[in-house]
Amino acid sequence: MDRAPTVEALRARGAEAIVNALTSGVMQVEGEDLTPGERAAVAAFVAGAPAGGVADTSLWACGTAPALGDPLASPYWSGWGVGPENRRFQPAEHAGLTAQQVPNLTLQWAVGFADTTSMWAQPTVAGGRLFIGSQEGTVSALDAKTGCRHWSYTAAAGVRTAISVGARADGGGHALFFGDVDANVYAIDAATGAELWTREVEAHAGARITGAPVLHAGRLFVSVSSIEEALAANPAYPCCTFRGSVVALDAAGGEQIWKTYVIPEAPGPLAGNEAGQERFGP
């Protein structure tokens, strides 16, 4: 197949990434009938080494860290577009440099993430820290000056969204909001990484969150997408039932306030496919 990756390319991804792809990624159709042990065996065979068993020494811990303070009191970049207007523009007073100075920038530090070959998530910078999610589900708070790690949090699945920062409703500091590729939304404490709440916003097998949640007036707005087109590669899959949605959650506790669908009509049965499997559509 022209578009199929080579064995060498798959091996470069590592066993952990292959297990994730078979479990909740683009290869989940191929992996859905396999047991966890069988997925691990396939991944070990393709990668040439088993998943796990290697300590993450690439992200080193910081020493005594200063208190986070108010991460929005100094220049910051939060979420995808840095503001509710989604302009993706940093004003001069926050940027601290001009466009003409950008070509003169030099590398100050670099870190690696274990069992990770792709970095999907855009970093968020606030309060002297860099918050970023990773392919295998680790969200880290790195020191913006040195790259050392203040803390890390492990989500249930890979984190592809940018992270949004906002004040906690209880006055207890600030929270980070993000989603994973299993359609779970998270709120964690920005200073410590402690979990505040999690919420699954869509039960569809192909659902995932790739757009950064947006915080406004105490509500968290989350867009939900899917990889149902990959699931439909299996002729036995009853496609297509995903409708796309936007969900509003209470930022304090994660309770759903409302949910609206991109396709208003619920999918109904249509004629079957060539394999005799029922199909669905509006």
* H-helix or E-strand spanning residue 126: strand 124-126
Residue 137 domain-assigned (yes or no): no
Q: Which of 8-12, 35-39, 74-78, 214-218 comes out lowest in average pLDDT?
A: 8-12
* Non-local CB neighbours of 165 within 8 Å, separated by 6+ positions: 71, 72, 76, 78, 79, 124, 126, 131, 174, 175, 176, 177, 190
Mean per-residue pLDDT of the chain? 88
Model's pTM, two decimal places?
0.84
pLDDT tens digits, 115-169: 777 788 899 999 999 999 998 899 999 999 999 999 999 999 999 999 999 999 8
Specify the pLDDT at position 11: 77
Specify the pLDDT at position 53: 54
Mean pLDDT of all residues in 186-199: 97
Residue 83 domain-assigned (yes or no): no
Residue 33 domain-assigned (yes or no): yes
Angle, helix 36-47 to helix 15-24, in steps of 10 degrees: 140
122, amino acid identity: Q
CA–CA dist 199, 13 (Å, integer)? 29
Residue 266 domain-assigned (yes or no): no
Looking at residue 155, the DSSP 8-state letter turns out to be -
Specify the pLDDT at position 1: 58
State the residue range of the domain holding 8: 1-51
Q: In angstroms, what CA-CA distances link 69 with 65, 79, 108? A: 12, 19, 24
Specify the pLDDT at position 45: 86
In the chain, how long is the greatest CA-to-CA distance? Answer: 64
Find out whether 181 and 160 touch, Cβ atoms under 8 Å: yes
Specify the pLDDT at position 85: 85
pLDDT tens digits, 5-49: 787 777 777 787 788 778 777 777 777 788 888 888 888 888 777
Residue 173 domain-assigned (yes or no): no
Residue 67 domain-assigned (yes or no): no
**Confidence band (pLDDT; 50, 70, 90) for 249?**
very high
Share of the chain above pLDDT 90, in %: 52
Residue 167's closest CA among 76, 31, 241?
Answer: 76
Specify the pLDDT at position 15: 81
Total number of domains in the chain: 1
Residue 66 domain-assigned (yes or no): no
Specify the pLDDT at position 175: 97
Residue 193 domain-assigned (yes or no): no
Specify the pLDDT at position 52: 64
Mean pLDDT of all residues in 191-217: 96
